[in-house]
Structure 1
Amino acid sequence: MAPPASYPAMGTLVILNPTAGGRKDPDALQRRLEPWIDGDFVSTRGPGEAVGLASEAARSGYESVVAVGGDGTVREVATGLHLGGAAPRLGIIPAGTGNDLAWCLGIPAAIERAAAVATDGRTAALDLVQASRLAAYDEPRYLVNAAVAGFGGRIGDAMTPAFRRRFRRIAYPLAALGQVRDLRPYSIRVEVDGRGMDAKALMVVVANGEYAGGRIRFVPGASTGDGLLDLVVVHAVSPGRLATLIPRVLSGRHPGTTGISMYRGASVRIHADRDMWINLDGDTWQPGPAGFRVLPAALRVAVP
């Protein structure tokens, strides 16, 4: 479906990613949602389009913009709302592969129940995270849930629509297993609110919420509205030690465990001795030194 030529004032705009989760029928999501949401529907035609649609909706007076898709779609819609002035409330209907932010916020997985939350739920503050490449002058990116650097940083490259459709919720862990052969430590320097520390690390996670990578509880107790970022550093350890760490991370029992360091602050900078690819809310970004800063309560979001 092509975007409407102009938006009426007020009301709800639903922005759908028609292929979210590897779906084959591009109209299926809209058919399911139309009985539940009284609003205007528009489907994206490619990566990045939701940013412009949401930005225009914010400037045109919509009261609510609902993102239907995975974490990448939510990130694009949130980015557009921020760039457009962030007036509309963000609704989220999880229809992707990981749906980590929805999980963090307690939004139901069932599409019809999530639609009820998007339209009638209470409103909560949602922090936004700005990501910038420190060695470049390109425009900053934004994310709503988590950035993963190092191991897992290029996981999005393996997440083709067919792969997502076939493996669904376990797609992220399976894609990560495919990168084990590239598991090499980085010499990194991390700065949290200006305080620096050096480490040999396999992976660094900059998180706004508790869950990332397909509902892995990387940061138990993290809040998407506390005005702070949570940093998790997985240190370079022996293969035997790594084998014991993995189940603890998967079950959220890793805080305080040897080989894991956790920090909290409003800004994070990451430098590495070689290209360290970074994944933003499920999508591969760029390698190189990067900075992150939280934008407290930048958005309003519908929650149960």
Structure 2
Amino acid sequence: MKNILIVHNPTAGDAEHSKQFLVDFFKDTGMVTTYVSSDEAGWEQSLRNKPDAIYLAGGDGTVHSLAIELLKIKNPDERPPVLLQPLGTANNIATTLSIKEKEVFLPIDPNAEKRKFDCGKVSGIKGDGIFLEGVGMGIFPELIAEMKKQEVNPEEKLDRSLNVLLKIVKKYKAQKAKIELDGFTVKGSFLMVEVMNIRYIGPKLHLAPDANPGDGYLNLVMIPENKREELEAYVKSLIAGKNSYDLRKMIFSLRVQKLKIKWKGSKVHLDDALDEDYSGEKIKMKILPGALTFLK
């Protein structure tokens, strides 16, 4: 690997990083770097130069933006591998990949192990149609909508999100869903339905502990109306800084490769993007196995 593209979100997290700070990592490595800021229009044009690898410094949203551009390269073998340096607030993708937040910054290792990463494809809701984290309905889209109204600094955002989430859990009216899978259908009233590619969503909600974004499957996670008290207890445990809650008390989960959902509510999310005007159209999802490659 010689030609490295640095994709940087300079406003991610606490923003204690700069262009020069990142470029300096590659001094005396023999690698040639091109730097782009994801905040600048047209940054994606840099992919036309076909870098050997990408050094991505940013959060989950920056990973999503890069993935959209990489998936435009039709041949998966021509999509450059990505080394992720997590700088965001939640960093759910990095956590699933066991990449520690704000670890010692290092340049790309040409001999680093490669890890395939699935993506999901969705139709029936607003957005770019690709997800890395998950698509869902119920309580979590309500949380996204509420947090959009609040101005919170990155240091306080996770704690504030959990406290807002607890209030939503207590009052949210469960909605009916019809979920069509291979050979059978699930119907019921749910507080939350999430189709997850990774283990976490939002403020580090560990809703799919068995999810593996390289196994060719999505995880359908359902929390029915009668598990409200258990969901409250889980959120309270997170607020208290505990991670020992037994999720089996509230979650029903299935591994799927494709599915269809009809939802009675009006809000749906795709990763961290919100569709507040979902009209009830049937939502279709399927897995795109091995769509991306990450470097360890």
Q: Which residue of 1 aligns with 2:273?
A: 283
Deviation at 1:163, TM superposition (A): 1.2
Is the alpha carbon distance of 1:262 and 1:252 closer, same or farther for their aligned partners in structure 2, counting shifts above 3 Å?
farther
Q: 1:44 aligns with which of 30, 38, 51?
A: 38
TM-superposition CA deviations, 1:57-83 (whole Å, max 9, x none): 444311112322111110110111011
CA distance in 2, matches of 1:175, 1:16: 30
Instruction: Verify: 1:77 aligned to 2:66, yes or no.
Output: yes
CA distance in 2, matches of 1:131, 1:74: 18
TM-score by length of 1: 0.79
SS in 2 for 1:223: coil
* 1:1-304 to 2 correspondences below 5 Å: 11-21=3-13, 23=15, 28-37=17-26, 39-45=33-39, 53-54=43-44, 56-85=45-74, 86=76, 87-113=79-105, 115-116=106-107, 121-133=112-124, 140-157=128-145, 158-159=147-148, 162-177=151-166, 179-180=168-169, 183-193=172-182, 195-237=184-226, 240-244=229-233, 246=235, 251=243, 253-257=245-249, 259-275=250-266, 277-285=267-275, 287=278, 288=280, 289-303=282-296
SS in 1 for 2:24: coil
CA distance in 2, matches of 1:291, 1:152: 19
- Counterpart contact for 2:169–2:228, Cα < 8 Å: no
Q: Which residue of 2 aligns with 1:3?
A: none
- Counterpart contact for 1:100–1:211, Cα < 8 Å: yes
TM-superposition CA deviations, 1:148-169 (whole Å, max 9, x none): 3211114334157951424144
Is the alpha carbon distance of 1:119 and 1:169 closer, same or farther for their aligned partners in structure 2, counting shifts above 3 Å?
farther
Which runs of 5 or more structure 1 residues have no equivalent in the other structure? 1-8
Once the two structures are overlaid, the 10-residue window that deviates more, 118-127 or 101-110, is 118-127
Identity of aligned residues (%): 22
Once the two structures are overlaid, the 10-residue window that deviates more, 119-128 or 242-251, is 242-251
CA distance in 2, matches of 1:12, 1:165: 29
Deviation at 1:300, TM superposition (A): 1.1
Deviation at 1:266, TM superposition (A): 0.4
Q: Please, what is the CA RMSD of the aligned residues?
A: 3.0
CA distance in 2, matches of 1:171, 1:119: 40
SS in 1 for 2:90: coil
- Counterpart contact for 2:6–2:55, Cα < 8 Å: yes
- Counterpart contact for 1:208–1:229, Cα < 8 Å: yes
SS in 2 for 1:32: helix
Deviation at 1:22, TM superposition (A): 5.7
Letter in 1 for 2:98: G
Q: Which residue of 2 aligns with 1:6?
A: none
Is the alpha carbon distance of 1:159 and 1:140 closer, same or farther for their aligned partners in structure 2, counting shifts above 3 Å?
closer
CA distance in 1, matches of 2:182, 2:43: 34
Letter in 2 for 1:176: L
Letter in 2 for 1:156: I
TM-superposition CA deviations, 1:82-121 (whole Å, max 9, x none): 11345211221111111000000011212534x4467663
- Counterpart contact for 1:36–1:116, Cα < 8 Å: yes
SS in 2 for 1:35: helix
Deviation at 1:269, TM superposition (A): 2.0
Deviation at 1:175, TM superposition (A): 4.3
Is the alpha carbon distance of 1:202 and 1:68 closer, same or farther for their aligned partners in structure 2, counting shifts above 3 Å?
same
SS in 1 for 2:152: helix
CA distance in 2, matches of 1:45, 1:99: 18
Aligned length: 281
Letter in 2 for 1:149: M
